[in-house]
A and B are shown apart, each in its own frame.
Chain A
Amino acid sequence: MQHWVCRQSDIPDNSMKLFNINKADVLVGRISGRLFACDNVCPHRGASLAMGELHGNNIYCYMHAYEYDAFSGKLVNIDSLKQQSNWRRQSEEWKRSDDLTLYPVLEQDGSIYVDLP
């Protein structure tokens, strides 16, 4: 179902913003003019992605430095965590992460809409 989120101008380029839509926390952002929308919950350990940053096309989670592609939802980079001294011995299961939950997003008549299930 499509929901009105905000005005186009509320999401400047290379930024993201958290919205609560129908009790769901949805992160909406814009990178190089292109919009994305996803569940705000990091699929690794549940941190709020809104607390993170944008690194190029990636959403960087501040909790464990996991980075997800904002447009494909795929986990693409965990290099920052690898700098930690004990990283290589972590169990594979602990390191494992699902992909981001993405939502269709569109701009129309100066507004942004997100399609939620």
Chain B
Amino acid sequence: MANEPIKVVGIESIEKRGVDVQKLIKLLTAGVGAEFTTYYYYTILRMHCTGLDGEGIKEIVEDARIEDRNHFEAMVPRLYELGGSLPRDIRKFADQAGCPDAFLPDTWEDLTSILRLLLEAEQCAIRSWSEVCDMTANGKDPRTYDIAQRILQEEVEHEAWFIELLSKRPSGHFRRKYVGQSPHVGAQGSLIHL
């Protein structure tokens, strides 16, 4: 009895609705890997937002940094529910992340080079979470979809912020109520640890 595998109805039900769970696990591992590495690299990027101009964007980078960490926190439990897991070796985790590393550019004293990098990272994240939404939408996996669409909403907001800073195109952004508020991921589902 003790060695008998226990049926996971939460997995069975989404498989019956057409979700390829192994494929989904790969996408989620890549997605949370990108969030985690982004959080790390954004820390370095934020530190290099210096001088009078840098002071102006430091807070917005910090919002994106903490919210990306929140995305990692929000989706990792779902990865385990589905039978997946984080790689034991963080190097392997980074190598299978869904987005390239956001290394500090050599030209970091030119703030636009940092902003371009931030924008590339957010755009990659949008593509990555859109894949998860596509795979789980229309009632196929409501739980994963719900978390992924909340993350996606914040990534789209981050993209708009950085485009505004680079091009003056209005994003509708004012400010978060507090740093890294995560209005979509955090407030509605209590999915993060604040």
Any chain B CB within 8 A of the CB of A64?
yes
Q: State the majority secondary structure of interface residues on B.
A: helix
Contact, CB under 8 Å: B18 / A23: yes
- In the complex, which of the residues B20, B102, B127 has the most CB atoms of chain A within 10 Å of its own CB atom? B127
Contact, CB under 8 Å: B134 / A48: yes
Considering only CB atoms, which chain A residue lies closest to B107 in the complex?
Answer: A85
Any chain B CB within 8 A of the CB of A90?
yes
Tier of interface size on chain A: 10 to 19
Which residues of chain B (81-117) have a CB below 8 Å from chain A? 94-98, 100-103, 105, 113, 116-117
Any chain B CB within 8 A of the CB of A7?
no
Contact, CB under 8 Å: B95 / A94: yes
Contact, CB under 8 Å: A94 / B30: no
Any chain A CB within 8 A of the CB of B173?
no
Min CB distance A25 to B, Å, is 8
Q: State the majority secondary structure of interface residues on A.
A: loop
> What B residues does A9 contact at CB under 8 A?
none
- In the complex, which of the residues A41, A47, A48, A90 has the most CB atoms of chain B within 10 Å of its own CB atom? A47
Number of A-B contacts (CB under 8 A): 54
Q: A48-B134, A84-B100, A86-B103 are in contact. Are A91 and B94 (CB under 8 A)?
A: yes
Min CB distance B191 to A, Å, is 23
Tier of interface size on chain B: 20 to 34
Which residues of chain A (73-101) have a CB below 8 Å from chain B? 81, 84-87, 89-91, 93-94
What CA separation (Å) do A89 and B102 show in the bound complex?
A: 10
Contact, CB under 8 Å: B23 / A41: yes
Contact, CB under 8 Å: A90 / B100: yes
> What B residues does A11 contact at CB under 8 A?
none
Other than A85-B113, A85-B120, A86-B120, give 6 A-B pairs with Cβ distance below 8 A.
A41-B23, A46-B26, A48-B131, A63-B98, A63-B127, A87-B100
Task: Report A's interface with B, CB cutoff 8 A.
Answer: 23, 41, 45-48, 62-64, 81, 84-87, 89-91, 93-94
Closest 9 CB pairs of A and B: A93-B95, A86-B103, A89-B103, A94-B95, A90-B100, A46-B27, A63-B127, A46-B26, A85-B105
